[in-house]
Chains A and B, each alone.
Chain A
Amino acid sequence: MRGQGHQETLLITRGYRPVRIVIFTLTDDPFEAPGIGGHGGSHVVMFDMGRHFVRAGAHVVFVTRRDRYGLNEHENIGVNCEIIRLKGGPASEVPYYDCGAYIDELIESAKTFPELGVEKIDRLVSYNWISGECVRRLYMNSGIPHIHCVLALGRVRLANGESQKKVSSFWQECELKVLTSADQIVTCSQNELAELTNLYPEIDPNRLRCIPLGVNTDVFGIRPLSSDHYLRRTTARFA
C-alpha cells in the first residue's frame, strides 16, 4: 500500500519527467548572500523555496539578472536545479526599481536559452513586477500556468509617500498587466492582501492567495544550551 508521501510524488512527477518549474527572480539572485548591498530576506526566500521544490521532486530553473562579472550565464546546481543569469543592464547591482529599464534586454537574453523554451516548462513563478512582466511577455498565450508573487506594489508605495521617480508610470503599467494576467497572485501577508484588494480593484479577487514566507526550522531553532553556558561562551564555533 502506498503511503501519502509516495502518492504525492506521483502527483508531481507527471509521468516519467519531473515537473519543471521556472522561477523568474530577476532582482533577487537566490545564491547571493543576504545582508550586503541590496541583498536581503527575499534572496533567502527564493533559495529555500527552490530547494523545497527540488526536494519535493521538481526540476527548478532559477532565472535572474547577471549583476556581477564572473558569474556564469548558466549553471547546473545538482541534478534538478539550474540557474540562468540573463544579460540586461550593467553587470553590477542596481536598485531594483531601475531594473525595469532593462526588461527588453532581459527578454531578448531569455530567448537565447533553450531551457526557457515553452515546451520545456510546466509552471512559471515570478517574483516582483519586473519578473512578472518578463514572464507575461515571453509566455503570453502559452497556456503555462503563471503564479505571480507580489513583492512591491507600486500603488502602495505611492500611497506611502514614495516618489514618482522610483515608482514610475512604467512600473505601474507593467504591474497592472501582470496582476490582471497571472493565473494566481500570492501575497505574503493579510496586510498585503488587503492593500492589493483596496488599491487594485481591477484584479479578480478569486485569483488572490495569501501564503506567508517561511524559515528553515532545521537551521533556525533554539540552541541546545543556554547562551550563558560556559561551552557556548568559550567557543567561537558558530552554526
Chain B
Amino acid sequence: MAYARSPPIITFVGRPLASRKGLATFIDALAVLETLDLLPSYQVWLVGGDDKERAFLQTILIGHTMLEKLLNQGRWLAWGAVENAALPEIYSRSTVVVMPSTFEQFGMVAIEAMACGCPVVASNIGGMKETIVPGVTGELFPADDSETLANILVGFLRNPRRREYQSANAHAWARRWFCADKVYQAYYQLICDDSRSPLDGAVSPTNAWRRQVIESLLPECARLLQQTISEWKDCSGNSQVSARLMTANGEQYHAKFLRARPTTHSLILPLPHEQLGPATPAHLVAKVEYFRESGLTPTLKASCRTSGIVLTEWLPSENETELNAAYRDLVCRFAQWGRRNSNSSELIVECTNALREFAASQNEQTLGALDQAAVRLHAPMLGGTLQFHRIHPQVELFRILTLLRRSVWSISTSVRSRLESILTLLLRAEEIIVRTPILMHGSLKATHVLTKDGQSVACDLDNAIYAVGPLDLVHWNLGDRGIQEIDLREDLTSLRQLTSSRTDFVLATSWLFVYAIYGLLDAMIGGKKNVYDVLLSSLMCAYETIFKHDLIPSK
C-alpha cells in the first residue's frame, strides 16, 4: 500500500464573520505560529461562510506581514459552506479542529469533529467545558488568548501523533455521550412520556471519561483474572486511569488502564520523528513487565499489551514512620536492578561516553548523539520501543536555553530574557557533571511506597528512568505537591540539607529547575494558564534563590 504523509491541517468550522466564533483569535494565533522556528509546515482549512465572507478573509491576509505567506504558499484553504455530508471527510483529514468562540452554549462542531476522531482545541467556555475532556479528547484554553492557542497548536504540530493518541478517545467519547439516537430518544421520552432523561450528563468530563474507560475494560479484566468483578472504585491519578477491583470471592486487585499519550517532551521539543513514541500502550505495559522479577513492585497478576491493562495485587501503604528508610532502600534496589540487567550494561557505558563527549563540546551534534544513546538505553525497558528520555539535568538546561534562543515557543520577550539569564546562571554553577546514569523510579513519593511481606515496594513505575543525579530525591522532597506548588526557595533549602556534596546539590537544583521549566512549557502548550502563571512568578524570583544558595562559584 502506498502511503504519503500529508502536512498537518488546522481547521476552523463556523460562520467566519460571526464575532462570537472568535476567528480573530485564531488569525492572531496563526500569526504567532508563523514567527516560530523548527515548526513543521502546516495548512489551514476554513469551513463556512459565503463567497463575500471568503473574499473578505483573503483581504485580511493580504498585506498581513506574517500571514500573507499562508496564502502565497497555498497553505490557506477556504472551503466556504459545504454540505453536512462532506464535513466528516474534512474532520477526518484535519489534525485538529479549533473553536476559539467567545460564547458558545454547546458547540456542535466540537462533537462532530470528535465523533470523526478529530481532537478539538476550544475556548474554556459554555458547554465546551463539558464536552471536551482536556488532554484526552482535545484541549481547552482561555477565550481570546491567542498566545495560549498558538502554543497548544505547537504541541499538535510538533508531535503529529498527538492526534492519533486523542483520536480514538474523542471518537469513543462522542459516541458514548452525544450520539443523536440516544440524545433525541431522551428528548422524546421527556416529550412523550414525561420521564426523566436516561442520560446522566457529563457533569465532570474527566470523571465521566475515567468511568467510561474503566467500564469498557472491566470485562477484559475479568477475563484476565478469570474471576467475576463484583465492585470497583476509581483511584486514578493525574495521568492514567486506574481502579481498585473487588472480585466475587473477596480478592482485591489494582488495575491500571494504560493508554498511550504523548509525553510532555514530544509536544514541547522539536524531536526527530522516531523519538516521539508510539501510539499504542504496549511499551507502557512492557515497562511494568520489565520489573516483574525485580521484587521492587507489587506482584503482577496479569497484563495485556493490546488493551493496556495491568493487574497487580492490592497492597497497603508503607507505615509513615518507615518511609524515609523505605526511600533509601528503594533507591539502592532500583540502582542495583538497573545494573544487574546484562542488556543494559553496554548501553549504560555507551550513554556515559556520549555524555562525556557532550560535556567536552556542548554542541547540538553531541547533544543529538547523547539523545540517541539515551533512547537506546531505555529501549529494553520499553519492549524495544524508541522514545526520547531526558537523563541529565544540566543537559536539559542547555537544551532549553538553546531552543529559547531559537524561538521555538511563543514566549514574551521579557519572559524569554529572564529565563535565558536564569539558565545561563545555572549552567555556570558547575561544568557538566559526567556520571554513569542510574535506574530510578522517576517519581518516587510517599504515596507510591507500599509494603509487602515486611519489605517496601513501589507502584506507578511509568516514569522509571536512567538518570544522572538525585532525581528521586527531588521528587521525594516535592511529595504529593502539584507542579504549581513548587517553592523554589524552600525546596532548594531542603535539598541542600538532603544532599551530601556540592555536585549532588547542583544536580538536584538543576533537576528542580528542569522540572519547573518543563512544567511551565507543559502548562503553556496545554492551555493551563493558572499553572503557567504560578510557575512563571516562581521562576521570575529565581535570581535571589540562585544567589542565596551560592550556586555561582566565585572564580
Whether the Cβ atoms of A34 and B190 lie closer than 8 Å is: no
Whether the Cβ atoms of B106 and A212 lie closer than 8 Å is: yes
Chain B residues with CB under 8 A of A12: 188, 192
Q: Which of B14, B109, B185 contacts A56 (CB 8 A)?
A: B185
Whether the Cβ atoms of B199 and A211 lie closer than 8 Å is: yes
Whether the Cβ atoms of A238 and B178 lie closer than 8 Å is: no
A188 within 8 A of B: yes
Question: A192 and B105 in contact (CB under 8 A), knowing A35-B82, A214-B179?
Answer: yes
A163 within 8 A of B: no
Bound state CA distance, A221 and B167, in angstroms? 11
A103 within 8 A of B: no
Whether the Cβ atoms of A227 and B6 lie closer than 8 Å is: yes
Whether the Cβ atoms of B92 and A222 lie closer than 8 Å is: yes
Give min CB distance, B164 to chain A, whole Å.
Answer: 10
Whether the Cβ atoms of B92 and A223 lie closer than 8 Å is: yes
Whether the Cβ atoms of B48 and A35 lie closer than 8 Å is: yes
Question: A11 and B193 in contact (CB under 8 A), knowing A192-B126, A221-B116, A230-B3?
Answer: yes
Total of A-B residue pairs, C-beta within 8 Å = 199
B544 within 8 A of A: no
Whether the Cβ atoms of A233 and B6 lie closer than 8 Å is: yes
A131 within 8 A of B: no
Chain B residues with CB under 8 A of A52: 180-181, 184-185, 187-188
Give min CB distance, A129 to chain B, whole Å.
Answer: 13
Binary per-residue interface labels of chain B (234-270) against chain A in the complex, 1 for a CB within 8 Å, 0 otherwise: 0000000000000000000000000000000000000
Q: What are 5 A-B pairs with beta-carbon distances under 8 A?
A: A19-B192, A40-B108, A213-B108, A214-B179, A215-B178
Whether the Cβ atoms of B3 and A229 lie closer than 8 Å is: yes
Bound state CA distance, A185 and B187, in angstroms? 11
Q: How many residues of A contact B (CB 8 A)?
A: 61
Binary per-residue interface labels of chain B (120-144) against chain A in the complex, 1 for a CB within 8 Å, 0 otherwise: 0000001101110000000000000
Chain B residues with CB under 8 A of A238: 82-83, 85-86, 89
Whether the Cβ atoms of B108 and A35 lie closer than 8 Å is: no
Binary per-residue interface labels of chain A (184-209) against chain B in the complex, 1 for a CB within 8 Å, 0 otherwise: 10101111100000000000000001
Whether the Cβ atoms of A38 and B15 lie closer than 8 Å is: yes
Whether the Cβ atoms of A125 and B85 lie closer than 8 Å is: no
Kindly identify, within residues 76 to 130 of chain A, every residue whose CB is under 8 Å from any CB belonging to chain B. Answer: 123, 125
Q: How large is the interface on B (under 10, 10 to 19, 20 to 34, 35 or more residues)?
A: 35 or more
Whether the Cβ atoms of A217 and B47 lie closer than 8 Å is: no
Give min CB distance, B163 to chain A, whole Å.
Answer: 10
Whether the Cβ atoms of A239 and B50 lie closer than 8 Å is: no
Whether the Cβ atoms of B180 and A214 lie closer than 8 Å is: yes
Give min CB distance, B280 to chain A, whole Å.
Answer: 15
Give the dominant DSSP class at A's interface.
loop
Whether the Cβ atoms of A45 and B108 lie closer than 8 Å is: yes
Whether the Cβ atoms of A221 and B192 lie closer than 8 Å is: no
B360 within 8 A of A: no
A158 within 8 A of B: no
Most chain B beta-carbon neighbours within 10 Å: one of A21, A33, A239: A239
Chain A residues with CB under 8 A of B171: 221-222
Whether the Cβ atoms of B84 and A44 lie closer than 8 Å is: yes
A220 within 8 A of B: yes
Whether the Cβ atoms of B179 and A217 lie closer than 8 Å is: yes
**Which chain A residues have a beta carbon within 8 Å of chain B's beta carbons?**
11-12, 19, 21, 33-42, 44-45, 48-49, 52-53, 56, 58, 123, 125, 145, 147, 150-152, 157, 160, 184, 186, 188-192, 209-217, 219-223, 226-230, 232-233, 238-239
B196 within 8 A of A: yes
Chain B residues with CB under 8 A of A34: 48, 81, 84
Whether the Cβ atoms of A223 and B4 lie closer than 8 Å is: no
Q: Which of A56, A215, A220 contacts B188 (CB 8 A)?
A: A56
Chain A residues with CB under 8 A of B193: 11
Question: A212 and B199 in contact (CB under 8 A), knowing A35-B15, A188-B105, A219-B85?
Answer: yes
Whether the Cβ atoms of A40 and B15 lie closer than 8 Å is: yes
Chain A residues with CB under 8 A of B127: 188-189, 191-192, 212
Whether the Cβ atoms of A213 and B183 lie closer than 8 Å is: yes
Whether the Cβ atoms of A220 and B112 lie closer than 8 Å is: yes
Q: Which of A186, A192, A213 contacts B178 (CB 8 A)?
A: A213
Question: A220 and B201 in contact (CB under 8 A), knowing A58-B192, A215-B111?
Answer: no
Bound state CA distance, A150 and B201, in angstroms? 16
Most chain B beta-carbon neighbours within 10 Å: one of A214, A223, A226, A228: A214
B325 within 8 A of A: no
Bound state CA distance, A210 and B183, in angstroms? 11
Whether the Cβ atoms of B6 and A211 lie closer than 8 Å is: no
Chain A residues with CB under 8 A of B402: none
Whether the Cβ atoms of A11 and B192 lie closer than 8 Å is: yes
B356 within 8 A of A: no
Q: Which of B2, B85, B88, B184 contacts A214 (CB 8 A)?
A: B184
Bound state CA distance, A123 and B50, in angstroms? 37
Whether the Cβ atoms of B106 and A41 lie closer than 8 Å is: yes
Whether the Cβ atoms of B85 and A211 lie closer than 8 Å is: no
Whether the Cβ atoms of A53 and B184 lie closer than 8 Å is: yes
Most chain A beta-carbon neighbours within 10 Å: one of B171, B187, B196: B187
Bound state CA distance, A36 and B194, in angstroms? 36
Question: Nearest chain-A residue to B193 (Cβ)?
Answer: A11
B223 within 8 A of A: no
Whether the Cβ atoms of A189 and B130 lie closer than 8 Å is: yes
Bound state CA distance, A145 and B127, in angstroms? 27
- 10 closest A-B pairs by beta carbon, nearest first, are A214-B183, A41-B108, A189-B127, A52-B184, A214-B180, A35-B81, A239-B85, A220-B115, A35-B48, A238-B86
Chain A residues with CB under 8 A of B115: 215, 217, 220-221
Whether the Cβ atoms of B188 and A227 lie closer than 8 Å is: no
Question: A160 and B93 in contact (CB under 8 A), knowing A53-B188, A58-B192, A211-B183?
Answer: no
B117 within 8 A of A: yes
Question: A222 and B116 in contact (CB under 8 A), knowing A36-B49, A230-B3?
Answer: yes
Whether the Cβ atoms of B89 and A48 lie closer than 8 Å is: no
Chain A residues with CB under 8 A of B3: 226, 228-230
Whether the Cβ atoms of A239 and B106 lie closer than 8 Å is: no
Give min CB distance, A205 to chain B, whole Å.
Answer: 14
| Additional A-B contact list (15), CB under 8 Å, known A35-B82, A190-B203, A215-B112 | A36-B49, A39-B15, A44-B108, A48-B180, A56-B185, A56-B188, A123-B192, A184-B194, A188-B105, A192-B106, A210-B197, A213-B108, A222-B171, A228-B5, A229-B1
